[in-house]
Amino acid sequence: MTVSPDSGGSDDVELTEDVVVAHTDAGKLMDLATKLAGMHYRVTALDAVRPLPAATRAARDLPSAIIVSLTGLEPASDVTALMDIAPMTKFLFLVPELAGRDSLMSERSVVLGAEESSAVVVASLITLLARRDTRPSCGG
């Protein structure tokens, strides 16, 4: 399902970032999707029993960011494979336990607890999307 803000009048709002949200909890999914759409992101909401495979399929469309709720049972190689599919996409992982989260951290990812408020998730996504690529460039 795609969620877009209602422009509600004569002001045309340009939607600049595609964000995918893959979550197991429909209520949390819709809360995040509506908050993001209200901030003028193009949001694709995926209500999934297994969010990682759903996010992996969505990554092929190269969105600006993907928020994915992890169960904690996913192999690290599957998470790495997700990130490899879309090398310019930013990732925000919601995890049930923060232990072991270091393996998910990178220049283009953030890890938060699964019970974090939607306001914190949205603020973290905004910050993540604002980050510039800090890798050294090749040039001469």
4-55 pLDDT per residue, tens: 445 444 455 565 799 999 999 999 999 999 999 999 999 999 999 999 999 9
Would you say residue 1 lies in a domain?
no
Predicted local confidence at residue 75, as pLDDT: 87
For residue 40, give the DSSP letter.
T
Would you say residue 48 lies in a domain?
yes
C-alpha 45/C-alpha 62 separation (Å) is 15
Between vectors from CA 84 to CA 97 and to CA 132, what angle results, nearest 5°? 85
Q: Name the residue range of residue 104's domain.
A: 15-130
Would you say residue 67 lies in a domain?
yes
* Global pTM exceeds 0.75: yes
Any idea what the CATH number is for the domain that residue 73 is in? 3.40.50.2300
Would you say residue 42 lies in a domain?
yes
Would you say residue 8 lies in a domain?
no
Contact call for residues 64 and 19 (beta carbons, < 8 A): yes
Tell me how many domains the chain contains. Answer: 1
63-78 pLDDT per residue, tens: 999 999 998 888 888 9
